Amino acid sequence: MRTAARNLAYAFAVGVVLLQTAGATLIPRLSFEQLTDASDLIVSGRITNTWAAWDPEHKYIWTHYNVTVSTSLKGAPGGVVEFAEPGGAVEGYTMSIGGGVPYSVGDNLVVFLSRMPNGYLRTTGSAQGKYGLDERGRLHAQSSLGGDLVDAKIPPRGASLQTLDGMSVTELGQRISARVRATQGKVQ
């Protein structure tokens, strides 16, 4: 089982490198339903810490982030959630991956997170799963995904993510709860 997980992590990393070098269209444009269904955790909070480190096999660099959770919208996280994005700088080595999502200490946000084969949580759907929160607590898409990263040929099935822009965390929580209830017991 451990070998299978390593193979999946390796295949993921190779796919990301191919995406970067070939300019291939690999990330599907997601709907609200798809983004919610694919996420293991959805939280609002503030980024409080960041650091870069090698993965356990010392093959890839990942930048890790801690978010102090204000509201749990899906899943049961603790008070602080650690997640990571591929790329970063460690010990004089720099790794840059197309589709990595940048975060900064102090960011106030809602983030949709999925568990990767290597065990790390990562932003679901690349930048499609990152929403900044303004001073009124309203969501604003942080997606900077361009044409060659998002597959626009296949339209998402369900509500556009644009419908989340300007929504409050409370409204988003109600919408996520309704989606989770609607899909309980169904095979995805």
Give the pLDDT score at 188: 52
Strand partners, 83: 65
For residues 109, 50, 55, 3, the Cα torsion angle rounded to the nearest 10 degrees is -30
Give the pLDDT score at 144: 53
Nearby residues of 141 by Cβ (< 8 Å), 6 or more positions away: 130, 131, 132, 161, 162, 164, 165
Tell me which DSSP letter residue 138 carries.
B
Q: Quick check: 1 and 87 in contact, CB under 8 A?
A: no
Give the pLDDT score at 16: 47
Give the pLDDT score at 11: 41
Maximum C-alpha span of the chain: 49
Give the pLDDT score at 117: 92
Share of residues in the chain with pLDDT > 70 (%) = 76
Strands (E), the chain: 27-28, 41-54, 61-74, 80-86, 88-90, 93-95, 108-115, 121-123, 130-133, 139-141, 150-151
Locate 186 and state its tokens.
Answer: 């169904």
- Residue 70 has φ and ψ, to the nearest 5°, of -95, -45
CA 25, 108, 64, 177 torsion: positive or negative? negative
Low-confidence ranges of the chain (pLDDT < 50): 1-23, 25, 146-148
Distance of CA 119 to the CA centre of its chain: 14
Give the pLDDT score at 151: 55
Residues of 30-63 as b/e, b for ≥16 C-beta within 10 angstroms?
A: bbbbbbbbbbebbbbbebeebebeebeeeebbbb
Give the pLDDT score at 18: 40
